[in-house]
């Protein structure tokens, strides 16, 4: 086993500090007793966390984001699993082009997608509806679920599936009792990443959401246009710790290494 030298350790430490510094500053500012976004220097306070409970708009937006994320992530995974099965188990003309098409939302700017969705949903008469939000979010988070399910399928031995079918199992039985348990970490990881991406999405959602269907990131975006108090920092802190809690639960249940990377061979 090779050891990292002082230069590598220093570089890694600086990189981690660079990544964590913004989160630390936001969390620290959320405990300020002042009326402005400043770092607390004399005392800490939960004032702005209690203020969240008094702001019904943020509470409604949080509920909207959670419900939208749950539905969109579930819908994306339900589409990603059969798509990944077809792409990994079959070879057909246009397969590579289809893969590129499925992954294209990763490279198209979300501003462009937002304008396109706004135009399309206005034409079909569902602009600003919850259905429009679900459809647009499923499209942009679908590639994340697809990539993780595909990664899990590459580690699943097709010979096991053929053996089950040769012993009399139907395709559905083989999938439910053999293939799905093997790829469930990837499915769980894809669902988790899809949920987080849906929950955090703001650029595209600004074009699709309305005051009656506003998600939490969009509400925070509009709030900081009008106010500079630390309420938005306290909401951000709640979201940060909620994300850490979700990742901790997944790590305890499946393991983040198996969920996000896949089982080692």
- Per-residue pLDDT of 119-161, as tens digits, reads 898 888 888 788 989 999 999 999 999 988 888 888 777 778 7
Whole-angstrom distance, CA of residue 96 vs CA of residue 161 = 24
Range of the domain at 75: 55-261
Report which of 195, 230, 208, 242 is spatially closest to residue 48, judged by C-alpha positions: 230
Q: What is the pLDDT of residue 265?
A: 45
Residue 211 lies in a domain: yes
Residues counted in the chain:
265
Mean of pLDDT values over 160-181: 81
Q: Is the pLDDT of residue 212 over 90?
A: no
Residue 235 lies in a domain: yes
Report the CATH number at residue 208: 1.10.3720.10
Residue 104 lies in a domain: yes
This prediction has a pTM of 0.83
Query: What is the pLDDT confidence band of residue 11, given thresholds at 50, 70 and 90?
Result: confident
Average pLDDT of the residues of the chain: 85
Give the count of domains, the chain.
1
Query: What is the pLDDT confidence band of residue 1, given thresholds at 50, 70 and 90?
Result: very low
Residue 194 lies in a domain: yes
Residue 105 lies in a domain: yes
Whole-angstrom distance, CA of residue 27 vs CA of residue 30 = 5
Q: What is the pLDDT of residue 158?
A: 78
Residue 15 lies in a domain: no
Mean of pLDDT values over 21-25: 88
Structure tokens at 23: 């989160």
What phi and psi values does residue 12 have, to the nearest 5 degrees? -65, -40
What phi and psi values does residue 33 have, to the nearest 5 degrees? -90, -5
Q: Is the pLDDT of residue 79 over 90?
A: yes
Q: What is the pLDDT of residue 16?
A: 86
């Amino acid at each position: 086993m090779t050891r990292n030298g002082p230069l590598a350790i220093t570089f890694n430490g600086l990189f981690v500090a660079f990544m964590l510094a913004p989160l630390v500053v936001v969390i620290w500012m959320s405990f300020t007793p002042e009326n402005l976004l400043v770092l607390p220097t004399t005392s800490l306070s939960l004032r702005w966390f209690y203020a969240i409970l008094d702001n019904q708009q943020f509470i409604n937006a949080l509920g909207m984001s959670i419900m939208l994320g749950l539905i969109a992530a579930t819908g994306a995974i339900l589409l990603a699993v059969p798509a990944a099965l077809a792409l990994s188990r079959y070879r057909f003309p246009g397969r590579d082009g289809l893969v590129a098409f499925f992954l294209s939302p990763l490279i198209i700017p979300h501003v462009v997608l937002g304008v396109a969705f706004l135009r399309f949903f206005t034409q079909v008469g569902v602009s600003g509806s919850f259905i429009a939000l679900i459809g647009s979010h499923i499209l942009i988070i679908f590639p994340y679920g697809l990539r993780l399910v595909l990664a899990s399928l590459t580690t699943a031995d097709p010979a096991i599936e053929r053996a089950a079918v040769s012993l009399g199992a139907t395709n559905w039985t083989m999938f439910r009792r053999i293939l799905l348990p093997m790829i469930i970490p990837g499915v769980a990881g894809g669902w988790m990443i899809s949920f987080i991406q849906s929950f955090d999405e703001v650029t595209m959602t600004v074009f699709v959401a309305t005051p009656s269907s506003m998600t939490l990131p969009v509400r925070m975006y509009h709030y900081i246009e009008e106010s500079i108090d630390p309420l938005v920092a306290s909401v951000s802190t709640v979201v940060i710790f909620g994300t850490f809690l979700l990742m901790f639960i997944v790590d305890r249940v499946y393991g983040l290494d198996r969920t996000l990377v896949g089982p080692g061979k």
